[in-house]
Amino acid sequence: MTIDLRSDTVTQPTEAMFEAMRRAPLGDDGREGDPTVVRLEALAAERTGKEAGLFVVSGTMGNLVALLAHTGRGGEVIAEAGSHILRSEMGGIAGLYHRAVAGERGAMDVETVREAISPTLMPNRLATALICMETTHNDAGGAVLPLAHMRAIHALGRAHGVPVHTDGARLFNAAVRLGVDAAEIAAHSDTITFCISKGLSAPVGSLLTGPRDFIDKARAYRRMVGGNLRQGGVIAAAGIVALGTMVERLAEDHATAHRLAEGLHRIDAALVDRAAVETNIVQVDTRGFGRPAAAIVADLRARGVLAGVWSKWVMRMVTHRHIGAKEIDETVGIVGVLWRGRAGSG
């Protein structure tokens, strides 16, 4: 059996989700509204402590319509240099000038952000239209932004009249890690997106939540980018089940990620920084193999383990509900074989 550690996006819906999808009341999301979509949007708003929600097909679409609704295609966006919005969303931010601020495990230096803000349009500077944060931070290996940091960035935005948007694709992983409700994280941001098709195991979709007038505007931009869902309740129904039944179990994914990190650390301490594993993402340094990540990923694939290439020397493994202790121990054993082979070949 293949052990798939490429991402938590490979999770399959639960039987309860399939049943909810089959029974979902439907309408036309682009006209009078789909009742199941409406219910999911209201639930998402409630879970994040916001006035309203918008169902979109992906986190990338959610971030895109948030950028459009916040900025009206004008102004400068401040974002962490390794953020998903800048790194992995196919230039969706194009048309907006962005100012990348280097971060420490995804957290931008507050003073650097303060200096980067331009409150008004000047002869040589665009006005700052938006500040973006990300938690958990994908490029930083699933790192969780401290609430104090988020509070400081949000306060800085408010002081200058600049809204703050958070890419919370794995928001509930962050909440579980911090031991707080998602709304406590979302309180430090004007708007937030989160994904239901990663660790929460729904088949499709993300939610954008925020003030009602903002969501009305974002809904119009969703139509512009082709995001009307028609009978979207078929997939929204799974999201309702996901929010009701799958959040608390994310702690299991964090535990299996730590088990993986501990196992790899026993093989060689240079493979993984155990302290950096905060949620369900494990980044593995392959330099000790003397071979780049792509080569190790290929070797693992040949042995039935799927992992991802994150950079030349970094391999990424992501745990989810289809990965338990057995799969982790098998994976560690296979990596150990590859490691010993490396040592023997020297």
Tokens found for residue 163: 């809204």
Q: What is the structure's pLDDT at 24? A: 98
Average pLDDT along the chain: 95
Q: What is the structure's pLDDT at 343? A: 54
Count Cβ atoms within 10 A of the Cβ of residue 291 and give its class: 0-12 exposed, 13-18 middle, 19 or more buried: middle
Q: How many CA atoms are closer than 13 Å to the CA of 345, on its beta-carbon side?
A: 9
Q: Are strands 206-210 and 191-195 parallel, antiparallel or unpaired?
A: antiparallel
Average pLDDT for 293-303: 98
Cβ contact 164:189 at 8 Å: yes
Q: What is the pLDDT of residues 315-328, one digit of tens each?
A: 999 999 999 999 99
Average pLDDT for 240-265: 98
Residues of the chain with CATH 3.90.1150.10: 249-345
Cβ atoms within 10 Å of 301's Cβ, excluding its own: 13
DSSP, residue by residue, 239-250 = HHHHHHHSSTTH
Q: What is the pLDDT of residues 90-100, one digit of tens each?
A: 888 877 889 99
Cβ atoms within 10 Å of 148's Cβ, excluding its own: 11
Q: What is the pLDDT of residues 179-225, one digit of tens each?
A: 999 999 999 999 999 999 999 999 999 999 999 999 999 999 999 99
Tokens found for residue 280: 């369900």
Cβ contact 173:136 at 8 Å: yes
Residue type, 34: D
**In which element (H, E) is residue 14 found?**
none
CATH numeric code, 249-345: 3.90.1150.10
Tokens found for residue 308: 């991802």
Q: What is the structure's pLDDT at 149? A: 98
Q: What is the pTM of this model?
A: 0.95
3-class SS of residue 54: strand
Residues of the chain with CATH 3.40.640.10: 11-245
Average pLDDT for 232-243: 98
Residue type, 2: T
Q: What is the dihedral of CA 224, 98, 114, 124, to 10 degrees?
A: -110
Dist. CA 319–CA 309, nearest whole Å: 15
pLDDT at 344 over 70: no
Dist. CA 239–CA 234, nearest whole Å: 10
CA distances from 287 to 76, 339, 346 (A): 38, 11, 14
Cβ contact 61:270 at 8 Å: no
CATH topology of domain 11-245: Aspartate Aminotransferase; domain 2 (3.40.640)
Q: What is the structure's pLDDT at 346? A: 40
